Amino acid sequence: MEKKINLTMLTDFYELTMANGYFETGMADDIAFFDMFFRKVPDGGGYAIMAGVEQLMDYLKNLKFTDEDIDYLRSKQMFSEAFLQYLKNFKFECDVWAVPEGTPIFPHEPIVTVRGPVIQAQFIETMILLSINHQSLIATKANRIVRASKGRAVMEFGTRRAHGVDAAIYGARAAYIAGCAGTACAIADRDHGIKALGTMAHSWVQMYPDEYSAFKKYAQIYPDNCVLLVDTYNVLKSGVPAAIRAFKEMKPKSMGIRIDSGDVTKQKKKARAMLDAAGLEDCKIVVSNSLDEYIIRDVISEGACIDSFGVGERLITAKSEPVFGGVYKLVALEAGGQLIPKIKISENVEKITNPGFKHLYRLYDRETGKARGDVITLSDETIPEVDEYEIFDPNAVWKRTKIRNYFVRNLRVQLFDKGRCVYESPSIDEIRDYCREQIDTLWAETLRFENPQTYYVDLSRKLWNMKNELLSDYSGK
In whole angstroms, what is the distance from residue 50 CA to residue 273 CA? 42
Identify the band that residue 111 occupies on the pLDDT scale cut at 50, 70 and 90: very high
CA angle centred on 230, ends 221 and 164, rounded to 5°: 80
pLDDT number for residue 393: 64
Using CB atoms within 10 Å of the CB of residue 474, give its burial: 0 to 12 exposed, 13 to 18 middle, 19+ buried.
exposed
**What does CATH list as the number for 200-285?**
3.20.20.70
CB contact at 8 A, 259 and 267:
yes
Phi, psi angles (nearest 5°) of residue 97: -120, 150
10 Å Cβ neighbour count for 322? 13
Read off the DSSP letter of residue 185. Answer: -
- Mean pLDDT of all residues in 95-110: 98
Q: Which helix (H) or strand (E) holds 474?
A: helix 461-475
- Does 80 or 477 have the greater pLDDT score? 80
CB contact at 8 A, 166 and 401:
no
Collapsing DSSP to helix, strand or coil, 254 comes out as coil
pLDDT number for residue 404: 84
pLDDT number for residue 231: 96
pLDDT number for residue 476: 59
pLDDT tens column, 38-68: 999 999 999 999 999 999 999 999 999 999 9
Phi, psi angles (nearest 5°) of residue 193: 70, 25
Closest residue by Cα to residue 443 from 458, 435, 453, 433: 453
Q: Which helix (H) or strand (E) holds 97?
A: strand 95-98
CA atoms within 13 A on the CB side of 137: 24
User: Is the pLDDT assigned to residue 1 strictly greater than 50?
Assistant: no
Topology, domain 13-138+322-475: nicotinate phosphoribosyltransferase (3.20.140)
- Does 205 or 6 have the greater pLDDT score? 205
> What is the residue extent of each domain of the chain?
13-138+322-475, 200-285
Closest residue by Cα to residue 314 from 176, 162, 102, 448: 162
Closest residue by Cα to residue 471 from 340, 339, 331, 345: 345
Phi, psi angles (nearest 5°) of residue 327: -130, 165
Residues paired with residue 407 on neighbouring β-strands, in sequence order: 364
In whole angstroms, what is the distance from residue 349 CA to residue 327 CA? 15
pLDDT number for residue 3: 54
User: Is the pLDDT assigned to residue 266 strictly greater than 90?
Assistant: no
- Does 148 or 262 have the greater pLDDT score? 148
Q: Which amino acid is residue 406, in one-letter code?
A: Y
pTM score: 0.95
325's torsion region: left (phi>0), alpha (psi -120 to 50) or beta? left
pLDDT tens column, 205-229: 999 999 999 999 999 999 999 999 9
10 Å Cβ neighbour count for 335? 9
In whole angstroms, what is the distance from residue 455 CA to residue 121 CA? 30
User: Is the pLDDT assigned to residue 12 strictly greater than 60?
Assistant: yes
Q: 3-class secondary structure for 405-423? A: CEEEEECCEEEEECCEECC
Residues paired with residue 393 on neighbouring β-strands, in sequence order: 396
Please state, rounded to an integer, the average pLDDT across all residues of the chain.
Answer: 94
Collapsing DSSP to helix, strand or coil, 395 comes out as coil
Equal fold, 13-138+322-475 vs 200-285: no
Do the strands 255-259 and 406-410 form a parallel or antiparallel pair, or are they unpaired? unpaired
pLDDT number for residue 134: 98
Phi, psi angles (nearest 5°) of residue 444: -55, -35
In whole angstroms, what is the distance from residue 72 CA to residue 196 CA? 40
CA angle centred on 226, ends 221 and 227, rounded to 5°: 135
pLDDT tens column, 396-406: 554 567 788 89
